[in-house]
Chain A
């Protein structure tokens, strides 16, 4: 029992709660049955509802408390340990965050050593720097980045102490909560107790919780990016981000971090993609919904939609290894090329990424427009035929104008897809930020820069890393705006004919 109360692991606690809940189920049900004299018809609810009531009152508050505790404890411990580290203990060129990660690693290393039985708990608390800690820990399989300073060791000891205290507090509190729930539910279980209503209300509350997770996700997205973006703007002038002319991150500081060249690359590639996808997708949709017989439609439509189900990494590879080299063969290599010109040097270019992204968007445009064209009432077509128009005249002058708002919505949705697409541009567009009109040059986009600034070892205190969050927020706002506009247009149009 003592072990369960002091452990930092969550699993034993959760198992214990589950056991209590299961026990509660049978206890409460039995008590209710006894109170009804063994005749279930005298109960207010079915016997199992008394059991479920016990399960819910044991598990839900306890698990909720556990979840909140797991979120809050690291935060409190972290902030009080950070206060302990004196400013002069932070070496030149380092930051409190880096020191903190050392502290954490050291504390976890000591915990691991205690857990493995290499030293006793008391020995771990009495360690001093003189013991040549780094080598000593390395012998026991724990790697520490730098030599341990007295401040770090002190902070790590405090960190361990607070965490141990927190774990005991958490386990005791959660278990008491579960026991209290069990007791309460047991005492309530009486023939007259409205168990079903209680259980149903609790389930409904859980359903509402699940539904609001969507809002929580959005809030999480916005907040996580907003805080880091504010951090970024306190380190880097916002005028340079929005109105500067060049993108040249430099991890020694003094970088140019302007979104404009990236925005240009993003829009240029998206425009090429839409120039490929919109005509092909639209004509395919018109043919499938107006001309094709049921057999052609039943084969061609799913085949086209396969294109939408292929993962984007496949398109990325297709761009880098197939389309790019093919374009180089046409537009590059000087005399050896097909056109005998030397306009294109590498496989990555705006055209490469744009063409491949266009292929990816064809089914997207075609199935959305197909739905919209099908929603145009037959009476409009019949009226046009009655006046003597041919089928193509009907489509061009009656069906398309009637479907136009919906089609515009579909194109906007496709544009938002194109702007947010990552893998195709990461592999196919290149990494050079520039504003140029030549589609055969490599350019870079917002999404590729987010990937490159955030992968690898990033220091979350430098503007070169934080800029990724500002880029992400811009991307989020941009695509959100397009989506809201598109959904608004599509919805308004649907109401018109319903």
Chain B
């Protein structure tokens, strides 16, 4: 008993200080604690800052593509130029090429200047240069669609060229055009006068969402529409092939496969395929689908097949997870009332796992929609997708582009006006991706079951 310390005796503090005052060592430890925590906060802040910068860049640079500068002119559709015989035969009207329409637009511009009393020293040719190189084709399409209007005078909104558009959007300034042979200061004076007159203005550009790509010289006419159809066709192929094959493979691996080395090999294979660089799938597509099977180059069908192979592992992994989350009691109950193994899986387990499978499939599709690298190798870039496909079969087999490939194509072109298009294209692509992911999240929230 004698070794019990006397409670009354003061305990000698080894560091000789009060509990209420931090000594140097504790201070150091607490400071290092604070620093460590700060590193974490800074790391997250950097990550979020990057996200914000990225989104800000995309939105601030891309929204311009949804607006375009137009100039309104009244064009006399002269009968003697467009329909010499005067019989309104569409085949004859179509024979007049865009060169036949160019003088009309030029004359309309001259008339506009004379009528509004704007003083300029420019020659008519230099005035008409403010219009897009697409303007005559635009007018021709309009006339071919409405042949009855020949002979009358119509108010028509012409695209202006990309320099004028850039001037209104602040991309082109009077300083920056010093070495630009496409536009000069006198032309910009005319643009200012036309703005004051109210006939030249920026407005919503639906053509960017629905239209086709345009050649190097006409960035103002380029749109995403046809590439979007190409992407849809590819997604259709991916959905039709990857979903059934992926679900079938997962059902086998999760419900039927015996535990042996073959199953092991398949499983290791799938997890490795999920991490193979996407460009390798592009090489596979080029070698097998195009060089060996002679499927058409640049066809969305081939792109869809390549993306199917790429998405399969994602779908298999998520399908297996949702099959696994269905409790064994469901299977046992089905087997107990006399269902076969196959019936218990197809009638009971699969319907219960369906929301999870659907969610995984949508996420896999979103991944495939944004993928670019394999598409480069099977030729979905480098040409101008100018006409929308007319049928589903043509949509699958005829050469087309895809949204990310179209963005890449624009990013490579020399004219900065295409960069705005590329950022705008990214906005469209992200809208699709965000809505697909939102649907997946909603589905998960709505149907998720906790067993």
Contact = CB atoms under 8 A, between A and B. Distances in A.
A311 interface: yes
Contacts of B273: 214, 217-218
Interface string A135-177: 0000000000000000000000000000000000000000000
Interface stretch (A22-30, A239-247, A479-487): A479-487
Taking each of B37, B291, B379, which has the highest tally of chain A beta carbons within 10 Å of its own beta carbon? B37
A47 interface: no
Nearest to A419: B277
Taking each of B280, B382, B404, B433, which has the highest tally of chain A beta carbons within 10 Å of its own beta carbon? B280
Contacts of A403: none
A317 interface: yes
B272 A218 contact: yes
Contacts of B313: 214
Contacts of A420: 276-280
A159 B151 CA distance: 55
Contacts of B266: 211-212, 214-215
B373 A480 contact: no
Nearest to B270: A214
A214 B249 contact: yes
Interface stretch (A123-131, A219-227, A377-385): A219-227
A454 interface: yes
Contacts of B379: 455
B338 to A, nearest CB: 12
A284 B340 contact: no
Q: What bracket does the count of chain B residues touching chain A fall in?
A: 35 or more
Contacts of B252: 204, 207-208, 210-211
A310 B256 contact: no
Contact of A392 (B33, B43, B57, B372): B33
Contacts of B43: 279-284, 287
A81 to B, nearest CB: 13
A413 B275 contact: yes
B206 interface: no
Contact of B288 (A212, A218, A220): A220
A476 B277 CA distance: 8
Interface string A291-323: 100000000100110110111111011101110
Nearest to B245: A210
Contacts of B142: none
B257 A311 contact: no
Contacts of A417: 275
B439 interface: no
Contacts of B381: 455
A244 B369 CA distance: 39
Interface string B29-51: 11011011101111110111011
Interface stretch (B69-77, B79-87, B157-165, B421-429): B421-429
Contacts of B37: 287, 291, 391-392
Contacts of B272: 218, 480, 483-484, 487
Given A322-B57, A390-B30, A421-B277, A450 B283 contact: yes
A228 B287 contact: yes
Interface string B288-318: 1001111000000000000001001100100
B316 A200 contact: no
Contacts of B35: 392
Contact of A476 (B50, B245, B276, B342): B276
Contacts, number: 248
A71 B293 CA distance: 7
Given A214-B270, A279-B43, A317-B422, A396 B36 contact: yes
Nearest to B294: A74
Contacts of B32: 390, 392
Contacts of A475: 277, 279-280
B135 to A, nearest CB: 29
B407 interface: yes
Contact of A213 (B249, B287, B422, B426): B249
A224 B33 contact: no
Contacts of B309: 217
B277 A422 contact: yes
Contacts of A427: 408, 411
B356 to A, nearest CB: 18
Contact of A454 (B41, B58, B286, B407): B286
B213 to A, nearest CB: 16
B191 interface: no
Interface string A232-260: 00000000000000000000000000000
A288 interface: yes
Given A280-B43, A311-B371, A217 B426 contact: no
B287 A366 contact: no
A72 to B, nearest CB: 11
A480 B47 CA distance: 29
A200 B342 contact: yes
Given A211-B257, A362-B50, A472 B279 contact: yes
Contacts of B373: 312, 422-423, 426, 447, 451
A452 to B, nearest CB: 10
Nearest to A304: B47
A204 B251 CA distance: 10
B185 interface: no
A456 interface: yes
A44 interface: no
B382 A204 contact: no
Interface string A385-408: 000001111011000000000000
Contact of A320 (B29, B51, B277, B411): B411
Nearest to A212: B266
Contacts of A317: 407, 411, 422-423, 426
Given A214-B270, A314-B426, A479-B275, A423 B47 contact: no
A111 to B, nearest CB: 14
B26 to A, nearest CB: 9
A448 to B, nearest CB: 10
Nearest to B426: A314
Nearest to A197: B340
A468 B251 CA distance: 37
Given A204-B342, A280-B46, A480-B276, A224 B284 contact: yes
Contact of A311 (B246, B276, B419, B433): B433
A422 B249 CA distance: 29
Interface string B147-170: 000000000000000000000000
A313 B404 contact: yes
Contacts of A330: none
A419 to B, nearest CB: 7
A291 B377 CA distance: 46
B254 to A, nearest CB: 10
A455 B404 contact: no
Taking each of A209, A283, A479, A483, which has the highest tally of chain B beta carbons within 10 Å of its own beta carbon? A283
Interface in A466-482: 468-469, 472, 475-476, 479-480
Nearest to B252: A207
B253 interface: yes
Taking each of A206, A228, A309, A460, which has the highest tally of chain B beta carbons within 10 Å of its own beta carbon? A309
Given A359-B54, A447-B279, A483-B272, 9 more contacts: A211-B266, A307-B54, A313-B404, A420-B279, A422-B277, A426-B376, A447-B277, A469-B283, A475-B280
15 contacts: A207-B249, A210-B246, A225-B284, A286-B40, A304-B44, A310-B433, A311-B429, A313-B372, A317-B426, A318-B57, A423-B373, A454-B377, A479-B277, A483-B271, A483-B275
Interface of A: 71, 74, 104, 196, 200, 203-204, 206-215, 217-218, 220-221, 224-225, 228, 279-284, 286-288, 290-291, 300, 303-304, 306-307, 309-314, 316-318, 320-322, 359, 362-363, 366, 390-393, 395-396, 413, 416-417, 419-423, 426-427, 447, 450-451, 454-456, 460, 468-469, 472, 475-476, 479-480, 483-484, 487
The 9 closest A-B pairs by CB, nearest first: A420-B277, A287-B40, A311-B370, A283-B43, A224-B287, A210-B248, A392-B36, A207-B252, A422-B373
